[in-house]
Amino acid sequence: MEAAIRIEDLHKSYGSTKAVDGLSLTVAPGQIYGLLGPNGAGKTTTLRCLCTLERPDRGWLEVAGISVADDPRAVRQLLGYVAQEIALDKILTGRELLQLQADLYHLSRAAAREQIAQMLELLDLSERADERIKTYSGGLMKRLDLAAGLLHNPKVLVLDEPTVGLDIQSRLAVWNFLRELRRRGVTVLLTSHYLEEIDMLAARVAIIDRGRLIAEGTPEELKQRVGGERVTLRIREFSPAAEAREAAALLGALPFVKEVIINEAQGNALYLVVAAADPLSTVPTLREELTRSGLPLFGVALARPSLDDVFLAATGQTLQDADLAVGSRGKKKRK
Ligand X SMILES: Nc1ncnc2c1ncn2[C@@H]1O[C@H](COP(=O)(O)OP(=O)(O)OP(=O)(O)O)[C@@H](O)[C@H]1O
Q: List residues near ligand X by CB under 6 A.
A: 14, 17, 19, 37, 39-45, 331-332, 334-335
Judged by beta carbon, residue 21 or residue 289, the one nearer ligand X is 21
Bridge partners, residue 216, by sequence: 206
Q: Closer to ligand X by CB, 42 or 305: give it.
A: 42
DSSP state of 332: P
Q: In what order do the strands lie in the sheet with 58-63?
A: 17-27, 5-14, 58-63, 66-67
Q: CB nearer to ligand X: give 159 or 295.
A: 159
How many other CB atoms are found less than 10 A from the CB of residue 132? 15
Instruction: Kindly tell me which of 179 and 331 has the beta carbon lying closer to ligand X.
Output: 331
Quick one: 46 or 170, whose CB is closer to ligand X?
46
**Smallest distance, ligand X to C-beta of residue 50, A:** 12
Distance CA 98, CA 92 (A): 10
Cα-Cα-Cα-Cα dihedral sign, residues 120, 125, 129, 132: negative
Closest to ligand X by CB, 73 vs 333, is 333
Q: How far apart are CA 180 and CA 196, in angstroms?
A: 19
Shortest Å, Cβ 37 to ligand X: 5
In the complex, what is the shortest distance from the CB of residue 317 to ligand X, in angstroms, rounded to a whole number? 15
**CA distance linking residue 250 with residue 233, whole number of Å:** 13
CB of 38 to ligand X, least distance (A): 7
The amino acid at residue 39 is N
Nearest to 189 by CA among 229, 236, 149: 149
Nearest CA among 224, 209, 227, 218 for reference residue 34: 218
Packing angle, helices 319-329 and 307-315, rounded to 10? 60
Q: In this structure, are strands 156-160 and 79-82 parallel, antiparallel, or unpaired?
A: parallel
Q: How far is the CB of 39 from ligand X (least distance, A)?
A: 4
Smallest gap, in angstroms, from Cβ of residue 121 to ligand X? 30
Strand order in the sheet with 187-192: 79-82, 156-160, 187-192, 32-36, 204-209, 212-217
Of 44 and 115, nearer to ligand X (C-beta) is 44
CB of 17 to ligand X, least distance (A): 5
- At closest approach, how far in Å is the CB of 3 from ligand X? 22
39 vs 118, which CB is nearer to ligand X? 39
Least separation in angstroms between residue 84's CB and ligand X is 6
**Dist CA 245 CA 98 (whole Å):** 58
Nearer to ligand X by Cβ, of 50 and 251: the residue is: 50
CA–CA gap between residue 278 and residue 225 (Å, rounded)? 19
